[in-house]
Structure 1
Amino acid sequence: MTHHQKRLSVPDSWPVERKENTFTVKADAGPHGEAGVPLLILLRDVLEYVDSKKEARYALEQDSVLVNGQPISDEERPIGMFDILAFTEREEFYRVFPDEGGRLSLTPIDEDAAGSRLGKVTGKRQVPGGETQLTLHDGATLLTDREDIDPNDSIVVSNDDKDVVAHFPYEEGALVTAVAGTHAGDIGTIDEIQVTASSSSNNVLVERDEGRFETIEEYVVVIDENFTGDDDE
């Protein structure tokens, strides 16, 4: 299996320049599917903390680079939307957040905010024992006794014990960001959810200062003001 990825064919969300070189590193299998960005790209091309894969491997061996609270040793580990990166020796913390155009960017946050991460609920089912299993946008699953959380809602999950520490319902009036499509990176409040009678996706009308835009349900994520980056500077 090749460990290289042609730059011209990387997902639009990857923060790489397509015309600089022919190839870049390929992400391992893991969270976020094909949209996951290899950790090496963030370390080398975005943050410029390392110059090579060899340097990245050495840095990761020190257990000072955490993703969602866990030390990472694989430089090709996929990183994606709403992941939390912590560089403990530097005392630097970042949230992965989609910017305009849908490219993933790193938003600086404080240490307290780095203790939990946001997730969009994409699936819900009951499991033996009476608990509810939730599936998040990156494929992660967790068990909870909360019955009020539904698909398309967002939750904040503690990195330490995986408890749900906040819940943001998907409903009209909710603050959302578009994470894909023409309006990726735009933030506004849901003005109307248009439910379709067919198997097609529901439409969502989002109000913002620049005017209203329309997208589909799968492209929006409910957020809180703390997740826009405006209050973390």
Structure 2
Amino acid sequence: MAKMGSRKHLKRYKAPKNWPIHPKENKWTVKPAAGPHAIEESLSLLIVVRDILGLADNSREAKRIINTGKVLVDGRARKDYKYPVGFMDVVQIPKTEETYRILPDTKGRLTLHPIPKGNDGFKLCKITDKTTIKENKTQLNLHDGRNMIVDESYSVGDVVSLNVPNQEITDNFKFEEGAMVLITGGKHTGEIGKINEVIINKSSNPNTVIVENDKKNEFLTLKDYAFVIGKDEPIISLPGGN
């Protein structure tokens, strides 16, 4: 029994720092299953339902809510309480008509940001890699584990907007100077700004970008940390009314 529990559960004090849970409330928490997001970059659906949204008082109630298909992730009912929910996923509770987007706060913790109607029918996905396959088509590898076959030209680092749950690409936001970005890592995690300059390093050092925030202050961050959220302004609802 102990070995079985160790695969599903994790001691709270060992949980990743980006999980918005208190390490001393209970001894154990639920470990996300392998899936579209890395375990250290996601939350189990049970944690979302019980600990963050407070829709259940205990694990049994949370499992019942999830098992009956009352929670949607990216427009689809997910009935596995260990299902990993991660960055940019859209979580919907049809019964209460509430919708949330998973975003990082300024401390790097994953949070559920309430989003209004009209902003809930899509999600943003970053292109992390691409390959050419048969018939000269392109396969895009997206940050949430999706693979999509397309005819059009896309670049690694760009962000596509997908309808949910249809998963059809409706727009493409290029990673370029002037683009609006959300910082997903480093000391500027959670900040919003505009790309002023992309610095391509010819050495083994990673590429970086200079970002200007709404106070006209500039900061340097890794290119991989900059997630495009719009061309001239953010197309998603953001904490703080941005």
Question: Which interval holds the TM-score relative to the shorter structure?
Answer: over 0.9
- When the two chains are superposed, the root-mean-square deviation of aligned CA atoms in Å is 1.8
* Alignment partner, residue 107 of structure 2: 101
CA contact (8 A) 1:7 1:21 kept: yes
Give the one of 173, 179, 190 matched to 1:168.
Answer: 173
CA distance in 2, matches of 1:214, 1:228: 24
CA contact (8 A) 2:115 2:237 kept: no
Pairwise CA distance, 1:230: 6.0
Query: Is 1:24 aligned to residue 29 of structure 2?
Result: yes
CA distance in 2, matches of 1:218, 1:8: 28
Pairwise CA distance, 1:209: 3.0
Pairwise CA distance, 1:125: 1.2
Identity of aligned residues (%): 37
CA contact (8 A) 1:124 1:133 kept: yes
Amino acid paired to 1:15: P
Pairwise CA distance, 1:196: 0.6
Amino acid paired to 1:154: V
* Alignment partner, residue 138 of structure 1: 144
Listed as ranges, the matches of 1:222-233 within 5 Å are 222-224=228-230, 225-229=234-238
CA distance in 2, matches of 1:179, 1:9: 22
Query: Is 1:51 aligned to residue 57 of structure 2?
Result: yes
In the superposition, the TM-score normalised over structure 1's length comes to 0.93
Amino acid paired to 1:229: L
Listed as ranges, the matches of 1:89-128 within 5 Å are 89-128=95-134
Amino acid paired to 1:158: N
* Alignment partner, residue 6 of structure 1: 11
CA distance in 2, matches of 1:227, 1:111: 11
Equivalent residues, number:
232
Amino acid paired to 2:89: D
Give the one of 69, 73, 76 matched to 1:67.
Answer: 73
Pairwise CA distance, 1:127: 1.5
CA contact (8 A) 1:193 1:203 kept: yes
1:72-95 CA distances to partner (integer Å, 9 max, x unpaired)? 101111110000001111111111
Q: Runs of 5+ in structure 2 lacking a partner?
A: none
In the superposition, the TM-score normalised over structure 2's length comes to 0.90
Pairwise CA distance, 1:232: 7.6
Pairwise CA distance, 1:106: 1.1
Q: Tell me, what secondary structure is at the counterpart of 1:8?
A: helix
CA distance in 1, matches of 2:58, 2:48: 12
Query: Is 1:190 aligned to residue 195 of structure 2?
Result: yes
Q: Runs of 5+ in structure 1 lacking a partner?
A: none
Pairwise CA distance, 1:134: 0.7
